[in-house]
Amino acid sequence: MRLRARLLIISVLIALPVSAAAVMVVNWRRAHDEATTIERLADASITQHVKDACETDPDWFLAGPREAPPSLAERALPDAETRVARPSTSELPIEFYAYTEDFEPGSTAAPRFPPELRSQLRSVTAAGVHGALSSFSTRDGAGVQYARLTGWSPGPCAVLLFRIRPWPHRTLESMALFAAAFAACLVVAGVVAWPMSYRISRLATAARESARSEYGGMVPVSGHDEIGALGAMFNEAAADIRRRSTDARDREEALRRYVADVTDGVAAPLAELEAALVAPAAGANDTATRADVVTRAHGLAMRLLNLAAAARLRTSRDRLARDPIDMNALVTRLVDERAALARVLGVTVTAALPPAPAVINGDPVLLERAIGNLVDNAIVYNAPGGRVTIEIAQYERHGRFSLRVTNTGPGVSDAEFTGLTAIRRFRGDEGRERRPGVPGLGLAVAREVAERFGFGLELRRPAAGGFEAEFAGTGNQP
């Protein structure tokens, strides 16, 4: 069942008792006013003038107080007491009649004295009360009647009976009042519930549309109540779903690229390595062959590690680890791991470390991979007898940190240097580089890692020759 139908049913269920209560209150108030009026009229009628008029001619009370007694012609009519026309109830709604102390009417037009009032008068007399109130039935509804002991006994006017007949069509009036109250309740409920129903309906429609578009749209948020809070919560949840969906697509794409890169970028070098091991080139000495094999094997291992780092960078976005890293220990570990490669290639690797540990915040695996790529390039693209220096410096001013990797190799040409500096950001397809001797994925990973953790990567050609790469900046200091 739709919300608006439920609200309508609830409004009707509320309007019914409220309207009935309103009619009851109005009728009760009206009956209370009539009872008060008739009691006051009865008290005001206990006068000598009324007594004299009543005892002289009880028929004067035939139809209540009149401007004059019935005419002789009216009294001469057969059964005149019952046939004399009464005043209009809309002009004179109150009428009263006289009775003896035995409750006998003073005229045939007077109704039979109500038994319930007779019992009440007999019981209240002992308590010093002189009147009794009850109701009587008519075709227009219930009327109010009040019996008053006058104290003019014995005589025909010992008791006076006052009656207020109901207004004509009182039942229709009550029904009209009920209908009006019911309609008013529905209108009020509609005015109150319609804006809320409209906002909820609009929120539900927008939520469905957002779900159809994979939560690409936002629902409107209006107001500062629970509905507005619900819309804001939906938008937050939708944003989280979009983020998770994007991450899932990124991970799927990263996995696809990783598999493709491993297949394309590793299969061929692995086949070449196998060929070099099985059938070395004719005339090649063992040292050159061994250096070539070690270089290829190391390059293959580094390619796999860089592909894994590229997949991680592509999917992790801003959720990278931020752990304290001792850069002295990291550089020492890199030097030890590259010792065999450097020895085979005839390159010397040294590290210049500060006395105090240099600590920065970052992802240990990615930072080690980035700096390892710089060290690998400095070793591989060097010359036999060359040197590689890794220097760490920390500056008190502005908390700046730098790590510089320098080699004494042949350096690079202008065209090669332009190509290296053109690799500004990680794109994700650097692993597909086929040209020998041209770095791609390793340098891209190093630059992306540096920027992710607040550092910069600068490439330089020193005047003395060789090549230099500096990993520097304020970064994420602990």
Per the domain annotation, does 127 fall within a domain?
yes
Per the domain annotation, does 220 fall within a domain?
no
Tell me what the mean pLDDT of segment 323-331 comes to: 91
Tell me what the mean pLDDT of segment 18-27 comes to: 87
Per the domain annotation, does 36 fall within a domain?
no
Considering the domain architecture, whether residues 335 and 425 belong to the same structural domain is answered as yes
Considering the domain architecture, whether residues 259 and 152 belong to the same structural domain is answered as no
Note the residue count of the chain: 478
Cα–Cα dist 309/228, whole Å? 43
The residue out of 168, 195, 210 marking a domain boundary is 168
Q: How far is CA 228 from the centre of its chain?
A: 6
Considering the domain architecture, whether residues 282 and 422 belong to the same structural domain is answered as yes
Per the domain annotation, does 449 fall within a domain?
yes
Per the domain annotation, does 186 fall within a domain?
no
**Is pLDDT above 50 for 38?**
yes
| pLDDT band (50, 70, 90) for residue 437 | very low
Cα–Cα dist 114/252, whole Å? 96
Q: Helix (H, G, I), strand (E, B), or coil: what is residue 388?
A: strand
Tell me what the mean pLDDT of segment 241-264 comes to: 71
Helix, strand and coil in the chain, % to nearest 5: 55, 15, 30
pLDDT tens by residue, 162-177: 888 777 677 787 888 8
φ, ψ at 370 (rounded to 5°): -65, -50
| pLDDT band (50, 70, 90) for residue 310 | confident
Full domain range(s) for residue 281: 248-473
Per the domain annotation, does 181 fall within a domain?
no
Q: Helix (H, G, I), strand (E, B), or coil: what is residue 339?
A: helix
* Amino acid found at 288: A
Considering the domain architecture, whether residues 163 and 256 belong to the same structural domain is answered as no
User: How open is the CA angle 328-332-338, to the nearest 5 degrees?
Assistant: 145
Considering the domain architecture, whether residues 119 and 264 belong to the same structural domain is answered as no
Per the domain annotation, does 330 fall within a domain?
yes
The DSSP result for 355-378, as a single string, is SS--EEEE-HHHHHHHHHHHHHHH
pLDDT tens by residue, 90-144: 444 677 888 888 888 877 677 889 999 988 888 766 556 688 888 888 777 788 8
Considering the domain architecture, whether residues 318 and 445 belong to the same structural domain is answered as yes
**Is pLDDT above 90 for 315?**
no
Considering the domain architecture, whether residues 290 and 428 belong to the same structural domain is answered as yes
**Is pLDDT above 80 for 475?**
no
Considering the domain architecture, whether residues 122 and 271 belong to the same structural domain is answered as no
Half-sphere exposure in the Cβ direction for 1 (13 Å, CA)? 8
The residue out of 145, 168, 191 marking a domain boundary is 168
Considering the domain architecture, whether residues 163 and 278 belong to the same structural domain is answered as no
Q: Helix (H, G, I), strand (E, B), or coil: what is residue 143?
A: strand
The residue out of 118, 139, 168 marking a domain boundary is 168
Cα–Cα dist 305/308, whole Å? 5
| pLDDT band (50, 70, 90) for residue 320 | confident
pLDDT tens by residue, 339-355: 988 988 899 999 999 98
Per DSSP, what are the bridge partners of residue 243? none
Mean pLDDT, the chain, rounded, equals 78
Q: What percent of the chain has pLDDT over 90?
A: 12
Per the domain annotation, does 29 fall within a domain?
no
Would you state the pLDDT for residue 407? 94
Domain with residue 392: its CATH number is 3.30.565.10
Query: Strand 387-395 vs strand 348-352: parallel, antiparallel, or unpaired?
Result: parallel
User: Both ends of the chain: CA-CA distance in Å?
Assistant: 58
Would you state the pLDDT for residue 388? 95
Considering the domain architecture, whether residues 131 and 255 belong to the same structural domain is answered as no
Copy the structure tokens of residue 272. 């070449």
Tell me what the mean pLDDT of segment 224-246 comes to: 78
| pLDDT band (50, 70, 90) for residue 66 | very low
Query: What is the number of structural domains in the chain?
Result: 2
Cα–Cα dist 377/405, whole Å? 10
User: Which is more confidently placed, 81 or 311?
Assistant: 311
Considering the domain architecture, whether residues 305 and 433 belong to the same structural domain is answered as yes
* Amino acid found at 334: L
Locate tokens 């009649």: which residue? 97
| pLDDT band (50, 70, 90) for residue 372 | very high
Considering the domain architecture, whether residues 309 and 415 belong to the same structural domain is answered as yes
